[in-house]
Structure 1
C-alpha cells in the first residue's frame, strides 16, 4: 500500500524503518510536503542555535546536539545514532568510532593546514554523509556542518548549488554525482559544487 508521507522515488534518500516512522512527533503531518516544511522550520532553529555563539564544529558531542536541534521538534530519534542497517553508510555498530575518527581527522587537518579551508570543510561534510550516522537528515546535517566549519575556518558558508536540495531535481543529481566522485577520492567536483 502506498504511503503519501513516506513514499519517495529518489534513490538517494534513505528510507526509514517502521519503528523510526512511528517516532514522528507532529500528529498533523500526513503528506511529504508537510514533513519537509516542518523539518525546514526545525533546521532553521538548529542553525540559529549553532550561530548564536562561537562553538567548535569539530566535536562529536556538538555534532549530535546539532542534529537534535535540527530535527528534534519533528523526530524523537533526532541526535541519536541509528541502530539499523541502511542502503548507504557504515554498519550501525561502527558509527560512533567512525564519527570519532572523522572528528580527529578534521581536527588534524585544521591544526596542520593539511588542505585549504574549503577542502577541509567539504571533506568533513562528505565523511559525515558517507558514515550516515543518523536515521535520516544526514545530507542536510552534513551540509550545515560543512557551512559551519567553513565559517569557523574563516571562509564564507557554501552555496551548495544555490538550491534546496530536498526537491531540486537536476541540482540534487549534480550533488549526488559529486558525492559519488568524492567517494572515490576525487573531491574537486564536490568542492566546486559546494561553491557553485
Structure 2
C-alpha cells in the first residue's frame, strides 16, 4: 500500500485502490496521481514558507506540524498529527509510535532551541546544525507520511537563515546508500557523514 510497512491505525487503504494507496480526502486510487498532488502542494508550501520566513525566527516542532498540516491537510485527515503507526523501511525501524511525543519534546529542547535560527553562524557551524537536526528528525519520523520532505524543508529553512541559500539534494538522491549510511551513523552520535552530505548539498 505504501512505501513503508505499517501496523495499527492510520494504515487504511483507499477503497478501489487494491490496497495500494493511502486513504485520502480526494478519493484518489492510483499512487502516481497521489504523488503528483503531494508534489504540487509541496511547491505551494515552499512558496508560502519562504515568502515570510524571517532570518531570526526560531524553528520548532509546532512549526513543523503547521507546515505538515498546511501541506497535506487537503489530502489526509491526519496531516500535522504525530503518527500512530510503527514504520519501517528497508528493514530499518524508525522510532516506535508511542515514543514520538517524548522524542519530539527532546528535539525541541535539545536541538531546535539550541541550534536555530542559524543566522550569525559561520558556514561550518550551520552545516553541522543542519546535519544534526536532519538526522534526529529522520530517525524520529514523526508523521505518517512526508517525513523526508518536511525534513528537507526544515534543512532548507535553516540554510536560508544561515545565508547559504536553498540546498541542492541531487547528491542525496543519486547516492542514496551514502545518505542512508549517514543517517545510520547518527544513531551512534556520529554526525560527520551527514555533515558531508549537507556540505555537498550546499556546494560549500
Q: May I ask how many residue pairs the two structures share in their alignment?
A: 180
Give the Å deviation of 1:38.
1.0
- Go from structure 1 to structure 2 and tell me whether the alpha carbon gap of 1:103 and 1:119 turns closer, same or farther (over 3 Å shift): same
Larger strand fraction of residues: 2
Unaligned segments of structure 1, at least 5 residues: 1-5
Distance 1:110 1:80 in 2: 23
Distance 1:72 1:18 in 2: 17
TM-score (ref. length: structure 2) = 0.75
- Go from structure 1 to structure 2 and tell me whether the alpha carbon gap of 1:111 and 1:34 turns closer, same or farther (over 3 Å shift): closer
Aligned to 1:47: 46
Structure 1 residue corresponding to 2:102, chosen from 97, 104, 128? 97
Distance 1:174 1:30 in 2: 34
Aligned to 1:159: 168
- Go from structure 1 to structure 2 and tell me whether the alpha carbon gap of 1:14 and 1:79 turns closer, same or farther (over 3 Å shift): farther
| Kept after mapping to 2: 8 A contact 1:161/1:193 | no
Deviations 1:107-156 (A, max 9, x none): 2234897x711111121121111111111111111111111112123322
Give the Å deviation of 1:17.
1.4
| Kept after mapping to 1: 8 A contact 2:59/2:117 | no
CA RMSD, 1 decimal: 2.7
Matched, 1:194 2:194: no
| Kept after mapping to 2: 8 A contact 1:110/1:117 | no
Distance 1:136 1:177 in 2: 21
Deviations 1:13-34 (A, max 9, x none): 454612796531222x332222
Deviations 1:11-67 (A, max 9, x none): xx454612796531222x332222211111111122122112125352221110011
Unaligned segments of structure 2, at least 5 residues: 15-20
| Kept after mapping to 1: 8 A contact 2:117/2:161 | no
3-state DSSP of counterpart to 1:86 = strand
Distance 2:192 2:5 in 1: 25
Matched, 1:118 2:127: yes
Aligned to 1:185: 189
TM-score (ref. length: structure 1) = 0.78
